[in-house]
């Protein structure tokens, strides 16, 4: 293990993502020496009405850009899809979504990812999306998704279609197995990729367990998620990598745990 990895060695890290993404992130944590504790607090389900998605899949070639807001959007939207049409650009907000596109058969040369900031704002900063007059864009997203992408592209002159391809629900889970980990000092951090993951954690864990969990630092993939956690009384840690997805999350955890004074930096 390299020197940079030793800060997370033996650290128990709670992973709250949907199961498939949780397993991927757990493997990454293990590479850094951490001990992942997987508790999916979000379950991915198809939308109540899938007909708009079926129609969008059949018409991918009619668009200039097809924007996937997450790896979940890729996995739900490209099941049994035809070959990726030529001259259509797939847009991904981060490398996780881009990798899901590759696994779904989208050619690497057809995929565009922001250079630095890996979120909706990062997508909107891309040179390819500045002059949109006459362009057609399909946004494949989750239920109740943000309107920032579509509204901004429309303001730039694009014709935008929005299609819901999945919804996130709270699984019927049980978090009681976390008690012995806390009592044995085997859980040192919580990771969040969505504000909804925290809301569902509070539902699944219950008030008493949540009070104990709130003693732990919370690391997020985006400042919006950190702000949401902090507003609900959790100790979200500001890191330079916020907004840079998994890489930013890991890069934020390493210096935090490398510092002997880390606990004194927690926000209340």
CATH 3.40.50.10090 fits 3-42+171-265, yes or no: yes
pLDDT at 145: 80
Give the per-residue pLDDT at 260.
47
pLDDT at 249: 84
CATH 3.40.50.10090 residue ranges for the chain: 3-42+171-265, 45-168
pLDDT at 264: 45
Query: Would you state the pLDDT for residue 195?
Result: 92
pTM of the model: 0.82
Q: Which pLDDT belongs to residue 242? A: 52
CATH number of this structure's domain 45-168:
3.40.50.10090
Tell me what pLDDT residue 244 has: 61
Ranges in the chain, pLDDT < 50: 1-4, 260-268
pLDDT of residue 240: 60
- Note the pLDDT tens digit of each residue in 172-181: 889 999 999 9
Sheet with 43-45, side-by-side order of all strands: 43-45, 159-169, 136-142, 65-68, 89-91, 111-112
pLDDT at 5: 57
On average, the pLDDT of the chain sits at 89
Find all residues with CB under 8 Å of 56, minimum gap 6, and list them.
77, 138, 140, 161, 163
């Amino acid at each position: 293990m390299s020197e940079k990895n030793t800060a997370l060695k033996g650290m128990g890290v709670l992973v709250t993502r949907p199961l498939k993404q949780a397993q991927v992130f757990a493997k990454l944590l293990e590479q850094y020496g951490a001990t992942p504790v997987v508790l999916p607090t979000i379950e991915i389900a198809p939308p109540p009405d899938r007909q708009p998605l079926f129609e969008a899949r059949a018409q991918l070639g009619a668009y200039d850009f097809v924007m996937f807001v997450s790896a979940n959007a890729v996995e739900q939207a490209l099941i049994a899809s035809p070959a990726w049409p030529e001259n259509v650009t797939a847009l991904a907000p981060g490398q996780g979504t881009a990798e899901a596109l590759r696994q779904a058969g989208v050619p690497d040369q057809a995929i565009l990812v922001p250079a630095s900031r890996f979120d909706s704002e990062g997508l909107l900063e891309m040179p390819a999306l500045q002059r949109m007059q006459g362009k057609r864009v399909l946004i494949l997203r989750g239920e109740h998704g943000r309107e920032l992408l579509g509204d901004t592209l429309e303001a730039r002159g694009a014709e935008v279609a929005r299609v819901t391809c999945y919804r996130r629900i709270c699984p019927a889970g049980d978090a009681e197995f976390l008690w012995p980990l806390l009592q044995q000092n085997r859980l040192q951090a919580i990771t969040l990729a969505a504000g909804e993951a925290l809301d569902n954690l509070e539902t699944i864990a219950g008030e008493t367990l949540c009070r104990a969990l709130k003693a732990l630092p919370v690391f997020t993939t985006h400042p919006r998620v950190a702000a949401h956690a902090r507003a609900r009384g959790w100790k979200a840690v500001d890191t330079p990598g916020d907004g840079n997805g998994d890489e930013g999350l890991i890069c934020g955890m390493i210096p935090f745990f490398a510092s002997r004074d880390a606990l004194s930096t927690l926000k209340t």
